[in-house]
């Protein structure tokens, strides 16, 4: 395993984090515990969860595991999130002080800890003034309930606005951002990655295999079936089979990933994860798994060095199509200049 500091903090985390959205849903408690143990044995030390994962069950499973493994628990960096609905009332979700106070206290109780290392706002809240959210987070840092905070699913301007408001008021700054990012989803490179680099914020990409598309399990013209996410629900979320399978760009990327994997004697998933780990601003890539076998296959990517040629080829073939302005090549070039014309 390799390690980096968590964003602009001194906290050290493994370059692969264990995502636990499957805990209590696709993985029962026994399987979830085995997955944590395999992750820790591989040198991982960064667990990511959220209150909304299985309506708190994921946090409860982690909490019971931490209590049963106190020695290992001392070495783990624990991250959770709040913002999405946890009840039917109008104040049961959002990034208001009222909701986040309840959400954080409930998460700490389920995890069985006095504080978490990283607390993340799960998404932007257009109804709550960002000052209210940031002041709550600063108060939580000062109270010792959280050691640092970050965001998830924020746009570039939202991250920049939040970071500068915190700086102006002398509040604790954000240290991480969780965006969706993979060889098939690279839109964040236009605004979000530059904003993160500007503010010293570390990225924690989720869905690094694009919902399983980059794992090598899907082939052109063959609809998914069996015990896979798309096999069980072909219309699942943003990775739904129909729209993505009809896009030739998808298959061009998958073919290139497969060819690089064959040449390196490894898996498509390992290639996709290794490419992502080599991108700017990345702190740790979030790995989700239903089984120990899935986790171990993905952890193997930590030792894979693709080399400059393979990285360049994957970057080129996966470049997203954009309009001429403001993200086309000539428009991007306008934002840079040499010292001498």
Radius of gyration of the chain (CA): 20
Over the chain, what is the mean pLDDT? 94
Statement: residue 339 has pLDDT above 90 = no
* CATH superfamily to which 3-334 belongs: NADP-dependent oxidoreductase domain (3.20.20.100)
Q: What are phi and psi of 17, to 5 degrees?
A: -100, 155
Q: What is the pTM of this model?
A: 0.93
Catalytic residue from among 39, 53, 119, 149: 53
Walk across the sheet containing 202-203 and list its strands: 202-203, 176-178, 149-152, 118-121, 77-82, 46-48, 16-19, 285-288
More confident position, 250 or 245: 250
Kindly list the domain boundaries of the chain, sorted by start residue.
3-334
- Tell me the per-residue pLDDT of 81-140, one tens digit each, with 9 for 90 and over: 999 999 999 999 999 999 999 999 999 999 999 999 999 999 999 999 999 999 999 999
As beta bridge partners, residue 176 has 150, 202
Please choose, from the candidates 238, 249, 248, 247, the residue with its C-alpha nearest in 3D space to the C-alpha of residue 318.
249
pLDDT at 182: 98
Distance CA 54, CA 299 (A): 24
- Tell me the per-residue pLDDT of 230-245, one tens digit each, with 9 for 90 and over: 666 777 777 777 778 8
- Tell me the per-residue pLDDT of 126-180, one tens digit each, with 9 for 90 and over: 999 999 999 999 999 999 999 999 999 999 999 999 999 999 999 999 999 999 9
Confidence tier at 3 by pLDDT (50, 70, 90): very high
pLDDT at 228: 67
Strands (E), 86-230: 118-121, 149-152, 176-178, 202-203
Exposure string over 239-259, b if 16+ CB within 10 A, otherwise e: bebeebbeeeebbebbebbbb
Statement: residue 71 has pLDDT above 90 = yes
3-class DSSP state of 78? strand
Assess whether 53 carries a catalytic annotation: yes
- Tell me the per-residue pLDDT of 282-292, one tens digit each, with 9 for 90 and over: 999 999 999 99
Confidence tier at 226 by pLDDT (50, 70, 90): low
Q: 48: which DSSP letter?
A: E
Exposure string over 84-104, b if 16+ CB within 10 A, otherwise e: eebeeeeeebbbbeebbebbb
3-class DSSP state of 181? coil
How many alpha carbons fall within 13 Å on the CB side of residue 222? Answer: 8
pLDDT at 229: 67
Whether omega for the bond prior to residue 326 falls within 30 degrees of 0, making it cis, is yes
């Amino acid at each position: 395993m390799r390690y980096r500091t968590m964003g602009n903090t001194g906290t050290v985390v493994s370059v692969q984090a264990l995502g636990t959205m499957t805990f209590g849903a696709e993985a029962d408690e026994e399987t979830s515990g085995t997955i944590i143990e395999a992750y820790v044995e591989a040198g991982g030390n960064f667990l990511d969860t959220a209150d909304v994962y299985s309506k708190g069950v994921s946090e409860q499973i982690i909490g019971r595991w931490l209590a049963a493994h106190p020695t290992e628990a001392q070495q783990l960096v624990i991250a959770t999130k709040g913002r999405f609905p946890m009840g039917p009332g109008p104040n049961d979700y959002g990034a208001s002080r009222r909701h986040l106070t309840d959400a954080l206290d409930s998460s700490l109780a389920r995890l069985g800890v006095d504080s978490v290392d990283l607390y993340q706002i799960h998404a932007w809240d257009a109804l709550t003034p960002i000052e209210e959210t940031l002041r709550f987070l600063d108060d939580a840092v000062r109270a010792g309930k959280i050691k640092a905070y970050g965001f998830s699913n924020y746009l570039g301007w939202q991250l920049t606005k939040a970071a500068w408001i915190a700086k102006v008021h002398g509040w604790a700054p954000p240290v991480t951002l969780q965006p969706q990012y993979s060889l098939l989803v690279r839109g964040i490179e236009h605004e979000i990655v530059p904003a993160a680099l500007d503010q010293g914020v570390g990225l924690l990409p989720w869905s690094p295999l694009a919902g399983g598309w980059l794992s090598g399990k899907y082939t052109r013209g063959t609809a998914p079936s069996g015990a896979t996410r798309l096999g069980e629900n072909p219309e699942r979320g943003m990775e739904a089979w129909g729209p993505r399978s009809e896009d030739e760009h998808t298959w061009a990327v998958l073919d290139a990933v497969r060819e690089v994997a064959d040449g390196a004697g490894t898996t498509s998933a390992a290639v996709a994860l290794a490419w992502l780990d080599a991108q700017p601003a990345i702190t740790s890539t979030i790995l989700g798994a239903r089984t120990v076998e899935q986790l171990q296959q993905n952890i193997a990517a930590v030792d894979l060095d693709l080399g400059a040629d393979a990285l360049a080829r994957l970057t080129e073939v996966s470049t997203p199509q954009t309009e001429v302005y403001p993200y086309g090549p000539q428009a991007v070039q306008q934002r840079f200049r040499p010292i001498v014309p």
